[in-house]
Every structure is written in structure tokens, then in C-alpha cells.
Amino acid sequence: MANLAVSTRRRNLSGLTAGYVLIALAVSILIGYSIDKFWYALPIFMIALGAYVIFLGTLPRTPGRDVRSGMIYTLTWGGIMAVLGVLLITNDLLPNNAIVLIAVFLIFLGAIAVVAFATRPK
């Protein structure tokens, strides 16, 4: 019976994810088109998808599995997607600052590493 509940939850989450991805893609294309910078659709989509993946990382997991490692993994990749989207837009708005943007990205990765290893169970 427990496997049926997990399977149903996973199926519902898959449908929700598919719907969110389609809506986020359509909205990002519309925003890029409306501001006359169509290529902005990619970073806006990355930001929206990263925010959704971060949201998924905060949801409670199935008991009995390694909850913490899956959560850190999901939050890390969601954050990376969102930060890369922000950095792409920032690079267009403030050109000639690639070194600063790379440094910001490395600081973000370092912060993730510190948080991941500082909260390790002993």
C-alpha cells in the first residue's frame, strides 16, 4: 500500500512538473518577445526552472531514503540554474564584466559547498 502512495505522488509530481515547464517556457518566450530581446527567453526560463527545482528540493521526501543528500543535490542544481540565468541577464545589462560574474558564480558554488559540508550529520 505504501508503494502505491509513493507511486501516485510521483506521478502527480511529474504531471505538475510537465505543466510548469510548459507554462514557464511560454511565459519566458512572451517576456523575451515583449521586451524585444528574444534571447532573454533562455535566461528567464532558467530562472523560472531553477526556482521550481529549488521548490521541489524543499518538499518532504519518502521516508527510508537518504533525504539529505537528495535535498542538497536538488537545491544545488536549482540554484545553479537560477544563478546562471541571472548572470546571463546581468552580463547583457552590464557588459565587459565577465571576470566579476565568474567570481560571483564561484562564490555561489563555494557557499553551497560550505553549507553542504557544514550541515553533514556526524
pLDDT tens profile 68-97: 667 778 888 999 999 999 999 999 998 989
Sign of CA dihedral 48, 84, 42, 38: positive
Q: How far apart are CA 17 and CA 104, in angstroms?
A: 29
Ordered by start, the domain boundaries in the chain are 2-118
> What average pLDDT does the structure give for the chain?
84
Q: How far apart are CA 116 and CA 72, in angstroms?
A: 7
Q: How far apart are CA 49 and CA 20, in angstroms?
A: 8
DSSP class of residue 8 equals H
pTM > 0.85: no
Angle at CA of residue 79, ends 103 and 119, nearest 5°: 95
Tell me what pLDDT residue 99 has. 92
Residue 10 has pLDDT above 50, yes or no: yes
Which residue type is seen at 109? L
